Structures are given as structure tokens and as C-alpha cells.
A and B are shown apart, each in its own frame.
Chain A
């Protein structure tokens, strides 16, 4: 552990990304993809990562042409050992973005949607499945309701039913752990603006070890939860010591078998890690038969699955908030203004809050690729001039589908695209 680290709680992984000195050529490609300037070392010299500035997003890792950045946490063999242990129920929690990327590691074209083959491969490996899209739907119920409470408090002065403190507007989404870490390390005055809803991964872990004990007929102590994520920062998120809500709940309710605490998420594999696990177990995902999820915890809606795209969380939240406020479904369901790769997308939705019989306008914004796009939006909020009520933020360009844990496209040569405009003939 880096003894200089000052921004990590005890028990947390102090930075998921490190740079292998022997592989680094000092080319600076990584620096252009780092959202916080956390990579040090001059051009031509070996680079290293400042763990306190680093968000663990892994953008440097997927964009390095020499494969120098690596993950400090690799638990593929540990998960395989758990899968072989008949006394352990290993639950794989599959994020939305995994299903449109893992095929690339098995020779399928980019963007192939392989949910059925992924389920089949997981089952062959011995996993039970909790589709994180289920938890994404759950997140919308919590975060969408939270937004309605904050908005009605701000507009109509409505008080909390449960006497809880109501946070200010704009409400920021809280699914992206790199974004949450940016707020916690650089903009702590914005903490009250973050939705208090845990990320889908963390909700899923808690549900697996509470309600899931009924679904699978196993005690929480026998359930081993594996987040399967497009994201390196999810490894850090899962290691936050406060994320043992299931243990605390089970203990309080006399359902803990021992005094030994357990985390909600036992470990996290990136999409790349899962591909390696399948290959070690001689499972060829591309040739695998389709399977279904096997339990109600794998049921998900279209709103849950688009969480992996920039704008997807906002679109899913709007579909539900609109229905709750107006009593009617949003038509059409596709909310195009928040889709696409523009750096900052914004939209206004006029709707009638049937509870108050008043027209309201909800202004939303969606930011991705925070390295380039977050600063002006944050400055507006800090100065009290932000026109927005609800803001979605994802660290990575394009959202989780281009997360730091995804298959590396073109052998890490994506930096070539950046210099291409310098050549007149291309």
C-alpha cells in the first residue's frame, strides 16, 4: 500500500490502477485520457499514477498503446476457487454494458448483444445470476422517487414523509464511482447534491445477501457476490467499508450465523477479467447456447439496460418520474435529447404534477467524458447559476460501455485516431 495515500478509508483498495514501469515508453497517450491529471512523469520518462488524484476509472489502461497500466486487484483465480467450492453459492452480478462488449473477446463484432450466451457461459462456470439491470430498475425506483421528493420540496415546499433531510437541486446521479470519487476528493460542497441512492452494484450486493437468501434458499454467509463490471472503479467502490449493509441488517435481525462481517460485494471482475475466467475454464462464449437468468433477480426492463449508455440513467429516470408525476407513460419512451456523444446534452420536459395540479418544467443535463466536459457544469452549480434540476454524470466517454474494464479495442491503439488529423491524406 502506498503510505502517502490520504484519500482512502481503511480497507479500501488505495487506487486500482498502476503503471508497469518496464512497459511504459513515456509517450503521454494516457495523460490525454486521464480526467484528473493524475499521471505524472515527463515525456519520454516512465510515468506513474498519483493515487490520491486517481479516480480508478481505467481510461489510461484501455487507451495505452503499450499496455503499461494494469489493475492492482485481480481476483479471477479466487472466483474460480469459489465456483469449485460446492458449499458456496457464487452470484454473478452482470452490469448492462458487459453484454454488448464481452463478445469482442470471443471474436464477435463490436456491439454484439450476447445476454443469452453470457447467461449460458455463467451457468456453465457455476454462477447464479443477479442481473444488475434488475438493480438498475431498483435504482430508478429509489433515485427517481428521491428526485421527485427533492423537486416537490424545492417547488412546493413539500416536507419529507419520513422526516428525513431533503437534499438540494440539482440532484446528481450517483451510479458512477469515478464521478462520486471526484466529488468526494475535489468538490465536497457538492456532496448534498449527490443522490443518496447507492449504485446498482451495491444495491445488488445488499439484495443478494438479504432478499436473495430466500430466492436461492442459502444463508448470506454461503453467498459470494461477484460484481461483473465494465469498470475498474467498481473494484474500489466495492471495497468501501460502509458497504456491508446486508451484514448489519442480518445481524440486527438475528440472521447472522457468526460475528464475522462480510461485504455486500465480495469481489469485482471487469469484463476482461470475466473473459479470462471463461477462457481458463475452457468456455467459449461465442459458441455457448442461450440460457435464461434463472430467477426473478435476473428480470429487467429496457430502462434498466440502457444504464450503460451516456444518457441512459437520465432517460430511465425520466420515463419513471414522468409516469409517477403525470399518471401517464412518457410518449414516445425514447427520449432522444439525452442520447448521443455530444459532451453536454440538455433538455427540458414540461409536465403536469397531478398531485398539485400544476405545470412544471424539469431541466436535465447529461455529462460524460468528464475530462473534457464537467468543469463548466460544476462551476455553474457551485455559483448557484445552474439551470438544471437533475444531472447525470458518467466519467467515461460514451458511458459505461466504454468503461476502463471493457475489452481493449484495437490492441490499445486507439490513440492513433488522435494524431490522424495531423496527416492531410487521412
Chain B
């Protein structure tokens, strides 16, 4: 079962647009993003490193117990 057929036309058109953006990209894998590498080298350290835990990760909240 999928959403209505009239929706699929624009959903598929937008989907294709992003795959086209991927195809024309000179670099297509995250680990080869030179600017991301530079972020880690100049500032962030390494993935899952100390600073990454502090800045790029989070914890979630059990909201079934009534928060307010």
C-alpha cells in the first residue's frame, strides 16, 4: 500500500532531483568530504571522539511518564 497516485508524481520528481544532485557531485561519499575532514583536523578531533560526544551526540527522553 502506498500513498495516493497523484502524490507520487511530485514525490518521484523531487526524489529524482536529489539523485541527480548525487550523480553530478564530484565526490559522492561522506568520508571523502575534504571540508568535513578539515573540521575534524582543525577542531572536532575524530568521529565518536571526546568532543564529538560533547557536541554532536545526544540523549533521548522517555516521554511516557508525564513531563509537566
Task: Point out residues on A near B: beta carbons under 8 Å.
Answer: 5-10, 96-97, 99-101, 104, 109-113, 115, 134, 136-138, 140-142, 144-146, 149, 161-162, 164, 180-181, 183-186, 188, 191, 194, 196-198, 202-203, 206-207, 210-211, 214, 242-243, 245-246, 249, 296-297, 299-306, 308-309, 312, 316, 319-320, 323-324, 329, 333, 339, 341-343, 369, 372, 397-399, 401-402, 406, 409-410, 414-418, 420
Contact = CB atoms under 8 A, between A and B. Distances in A.
B39 to A, nearest CB: 6
Interface of B: 1-23, 25, 27-36, 38-40, 42-44, 47-50, 52-64, 66-68
A196 B29 contact: no
Contacts of B68: 5-6, 8-10
A124 to B, nearest CB: 22
B3 A142 contact: no
B48 A162 contact: yes
Interface of B is mostly: helix
6 contacts: A207-B55, A242-B58, A308-B14, A343-B2, A401-B11, A409-B7
B15 to A, nearest CB: 5
A341 B11 contact: yes
A211 B43 contact: yes
A416 to B, nearest CB: 6
B58 A134 contact: no
Contacts of A194: 60
Nearest to A62: B7
A167 to B, nearest CB: 11
Given A110-B9, A113-B21, A138-B56, A8 B67 contact: yes
Given A141-B47, A185-B63, A398-B11, A301 B29 contact: yes
A343 B13 CA distance: 18
B62 to A, nearest CB: 4
A141 to B, nearest CB: 4
Contact of A144 (B17, B23, B30): B30
B2 to A, nearest CB: 6
